[in-house]
Chain A
Amino acid sequence: MKLPDRKITIISGHYGTGKTEFAVNLAIAMARDGCKVALVDLDIVNPYFRSIERKDELERAGVTVYVTSLGGKADIPSLPPGIMSVFIDPDRQTVIDLGGDPGGARVLGYYKPQIDQTPHDFWFLVNRNRPENATEEKVIAYLRQTETASRQKVTGIINSSHLGRETTVEDILGGDAFAAEIAGILGLPLIYTVAERKFEDELRSQVKGSFFPIDLYMIKPWELSETKGGHFAWLET
């Protein structure tokens, strides 16, 4: 799979498409590839399952994290001024994690002057297993509302169809075909099919989108017993 070559990559899609999970994985993949990379969490509408919960892992991987918060784990939707630096720093690439509805996407309009002058991509995630994503019409209507609210045009579609821990090969392949069809209707490229790493060998050659393997970072608290000896990552030094 090819990592982003533009300076800014904006990630959006409906709640539950896995935006934050993908944004965190993308930033870490770019950092591991040798990029100087920042992750900007502009999700001002979702109070839980935020990338700030994985700030330590991201920073350890070499990712600089900007969050819409006054610090700590509190969700206070303020835009830290440091975000502006991502448009200025000449050798840094940035992933922007945008909120999961048109209301949340509106915040991007604030940065329109900077984004318009910066080479960027705006990728829209699709999860066919979410009821609000169940038909092509619903996805396209949502995408258009998001474009209007954010004052930016989507440049690519990503299939991230999943059912959490119950995701099957059929969910991923069905979602891949569904997302490819939507991309075709919109005249946009299907960038990736995103799925857990364990599916990579089986599916890499079968999907229309380039296979983007992810590790699960945005896990639920009780899933910690399956990793890390049952500790929250942020309690570890």
Chain B
Amino acid sequence: MAKELWKGNEAVAEAAIRAGCRCYFGYPITPQSEIPEYMALHMADTGGVFLQSESEIAAINMVYGASGAGARVMTSSSSPGISLKQEGISYMCGAELPAVIVNVMRGGPGLGTIQPAQGDYFQATRGGGNGDYRLIVLAPATIQEVVDLMQEAFDLADQYRIPVMMLLDGMIGQMMEPVEWTHTPASDLPGKTWATTGTEGKRPPNIINSLFIDPDACNRHNQHLEEKYKKIIENEIKYSINDLVDAEILFVAYGTPSRLARAAARLLGEEGIKAGVFRPISVWPYPYDALREAASQDSVQAVVTVEMSTGQMVDDVRIGVNGVKPVSFIGQAGGVIPSPREVADAAKKALGR
């Protein structure tokens, strides 16, 4: 099929519909409002449900309900709206409910700005809600990757009974790029025998709940969740590496900054400095081992983390690199995008040139 030009947010919505999402609950906020707008226009054609809720909190609780009833369901928002959803996300992790949550990040904290940022990394990967829980967090860097990962996000959610967050920044949501729609075969997923779909008097009721009032029972539940998270760490790590051969600099970046890093690598190449780019695609689970292996390569002299924040993922980079090479950071926050020149200059500084 011929390529089409898609805006990131529209592509999120269309890809979700194509992945079988039939329930969308959300509330508009820039820079992701094209997602609910597209859902409002197109979800009804599939026989699904679009509902603009009265608030973000209502939306995530509608997601909880629809997921409990076995529906393929999603919500989307941008940073301040995702903050409002944290309680519901924690409850969904506790109740083991699958869903896809899209965060098109903007500058913060608080209301911040509507320009792109990555200040929600800690919230996404460490959990903004209470309790010991994890989300699978996927961070695409192109519109094509957004489209390709949406199907997988829904499938992973169902496979592990866990909310999956698509962590985008405003640039990915707002820009346009060519997209090729390919047919994704349906995953071989077990039926949702746990869903509250009505017993018809033939089985005991299914109960969906995050309350385990007995501490021993709650501990057992936490241990059960932990086993699941370990399986996800074993099986679902995703990353990409570019231009590692003879690289003196190893950039580490996800989303938009990974593209700035590749642009900076081109600038450095003009000055005779080789630079590679390590890009985590799953930021939880984080590709610690693969990163350490890349950083351990003899040619690498410095690891430079690039973010649109004041430095959040750099903590994971330090955990991964584990002291084998020096790690430094370059970034801008609050809706400002670092320029490729700034990034290249930071790399030269890390090399002492």
Contacts and interface: CB of A to CB of B under 8 A. Distances in A.
Contacts of A221: 171, 256, 259-260, 263, 337, 339-340
Interface string A181-220: 0000000000000000000000000000000000000001
A16 B176 CA distance: 7
A162 interface: yes
Interface of B: 2-7, 10, 14, 30-31, 113-116, 170-171, 174-178, 256, 259-260, 262-264, 266-267, 337, 339-341, 344
6 contacts: A129-B4, A129-B178, A131-B10, A164-B177, A226-B263, A229-B341
Nearest to A221: B337
B267 A220 contact: no
Given A73-B115, A223-B263, A230-B340, A162 B174 contact: no
Given A222-B262, A225-B267, A230 B175 contact: no
A46 B10 CA distance: 13
B4 A222 contact: no
A142 interface: no
Contacts of A73: 115
Interface of A: 15-16, 46-49, 73-75, 127, 129-131, 134, 162-164, 166, 220-226, 229-232, 235
A129 B177 CA distance: 11
A222 B174 contact: no
Given A129-B2, A221-B339, A225-B264, 5 more contacts: A74-B113, A75-B114, A166-B178, A230-B344, A231-B341
Contacts of A15: 7, 176
Q: Could you say which of A47, A49, A75 has the most chain B C-beta atoms within 10 Å of its C-beta? A: A47
Nearest to A225: B263
A163 B144 CA distance: 13
Interface of A is mostly: loop
Contacts of B6: 16, 130-131
Given A163-B5, A232-B339, A49 B263 contact: no
Contacts of A226: 263, 266
Contacts of B170: 47-48
B340 A225 contact: yes
The 9 closest A-B pairs by CB, nearest first: A230-B341, A225-B263, A48-B174, A230-B340, A222-B259, A222-B263, A225-B340, A129-B5, A163-B178
Q: Could you say which of A46, A127, A129, A221 has the most chain B C-beta atoms within 10 Å of its C-beta? A: A221
A224 B178 contact: no
Contact of B171 (A75, A164, A166, A220): A220
A162 B116 CA distance: 25
Contacts of B263: 221-226, 230
Nearest to B11: A131
Q: Could you say which of B2, B5, B6, B337 has the most chain A C-beta atoms within 10 Å of its C-beta? A: B5
B176 to A, nearest CB: 5
B194 to A, nearest CB: 37
Contacts of B262: 222
Contacts of A166: 3, 178
A16 B171 contact: no
A221 B5 CA distance: 19
Nearest to A163: B178
Contacts of B116: 48
Contacts of A231: 339, 341
A167 to B, nearest CB: 9
A230 B5 contact: no
Contacts of A224: 263, 339-341
A131 B344 contact: no
Contacts of B174: 46-49
